[in-house]
A and B are shown apart, each in its own frame.
Chain A
Amino acid sequence: MINKNTISKFAIGMVSVATLLSGFAVTANAQTSATTNSNLAKVISRSDTAISTRIDALNKLSTRVGQMKNISASEVSSISTEVQTEINNLTTLKSKIDADTDITTARADAKKITNDYRIYALVIPQTSIIASSDRITTLVGMINAIQTKLQARVTTAQNTGKDVTALTAALTDMTAKLNDATSQANTAQSGVVSLTPDQGNTTTASANKAALLSARTNIKTATADLKAARQDINTITQELKAIK
């Protein structure tokens, strides 16, 4: 038989167990909340760093764009505006992430830093290719000018009966290299000028990357052409001294 005393002991025991369990639950909830806050702070901190490094890189790029000489003023203005828009958008996104209060929203916003802007995957290489193309055009003009001067000296040497075979060959090579550099630079620029961020579309991302790599190859070929033309200048000046 269960007496009153046993029932009261059982009741006290149950109350104690219930109190204990509720204590554990409160502690667990507090720990979960602390972990969530810690993770949120980490997402915000990582996002801030990622945005700051991108804005720094974009500011440097903006300075470089301002130095371009051969692209039309309207194109320079268009590229500068595009870079500045990226900076403004990233700054706005940073403010939003800093104000996020739940981890899910913060993570979604953090993903936008890469998916929506593609600073390292597209904007910086794209603008650097356009800037390289611009500088190649500048260099072609400079080397053309010196080529005219060297041609005059070669003609003078030829008129005084000197053998200018090697000199003429170097001048011809210089012309070919300058023509190829111009062609490669134009191809590079036209291949990337209209690319836009992929917004997470893998097909567009692959196409953008392929276009950038192809344009980079064009720029590297043009650079090699210009260095070869520079070597031709050395060859001609040394040969002119030798046959004096």
Chain B
Amino acid sequence: MSKSKIIGIVIVIIVIVLGIMYFNGSSKSNSASNTNQATNTTQTNTNSTVSSPTDNSDASLNNDVSNIDAQLNGLDTDVSSTTPSSDSTQ
């Protein structure tokens, strides 16, 4: 085998190795990017479940209604103690 053929084969091998290395790096980068995107999506979703005072989501309305029901129950308890004793010795 001539000297020039050996040099040509070495160059081809180097090009192939560099190509493989570049492809792997790009793939890892995409993977990291996708992971980051997924994390961001999760954070966005988590944030969307937190209701603010002006929040008009279904979850917020349900929460408001539950709080109202709890206060109505408390009112029933308050009202039950508003009867003055009919016994004049009390």
Contact = CB atoms under 8 A, between A and B. Distances in A.
A237 B58 CA distance: 10
Most chain A CB inside 10 Å of its own CB: which residue of B60, B67, B74, B84 = B84
Contacts, number: 87
A161 to B, nearest CB: 20
Contact of B78 (A119, A132, A209): A132
A131 B74 CA distance: 10
Interface stretch (A16-24, A77-85, A95-103, A145-153): A145-153
Q: Mostly helix, strand, loop or mixed at chain A's interface?
A: helix
A42 interface: no
A219 interface: yes
Contact of A142 (B68, B88, B89): B68
Given A132-B82, A139-B68, A205-B88, 13 more contacts: A114-B89, A125-B84, A128-B79, A132-B79, A138-B71, A146-B61, A146-B68, A149-B56, A149-B60, A149-B64, A216-B79, A216-B82, A223-B72
Interface in B47-74: 53, 56, 60-61, 64-65, 67-69, 71-72, 74
Interface string A130-165: 011001101100110110011011000000000000
B74 to A, nearest CB: 6
A157 to B, nearest CB: 13
B84 A64 contact: no
Interface of A: 61, 64, 114, 118-122, 124-125, 128-129, 131-132, 135-136, 138-139, 142-143, 145-146, 149-150, 152-153, 205, 208-209, 212-213, 215-216, 219-220, 223, 226-227, 230, 233, 237
17 contacts: A114-B89, A118-B90, A119-B90, A122-B84, A124-B81, A125-B81, A132-B75, A135-B71, A139-B71, A139-B75, A142-B67, A142-B68, A145-B53, A146-B65, A149-B56, A205-B88, A237-B61
A118 B84 CA distance: 10
Nearest to B76: A223
A233 B65 contact: yes
Q: Mostly helix, strand, loop or mixed at chain B's interface?
A: helix
B68 A128 contact: no
B61 A135 contact: no
Contact of A230 (B56, B72, B74): B72
Given A114-B89, A230-B72, A220 B79 contact: yes
B82 A143 contact: no
Given A114-B90, A118-B90, A208-B84, A143 B79 contact: no
B85 interface: yes
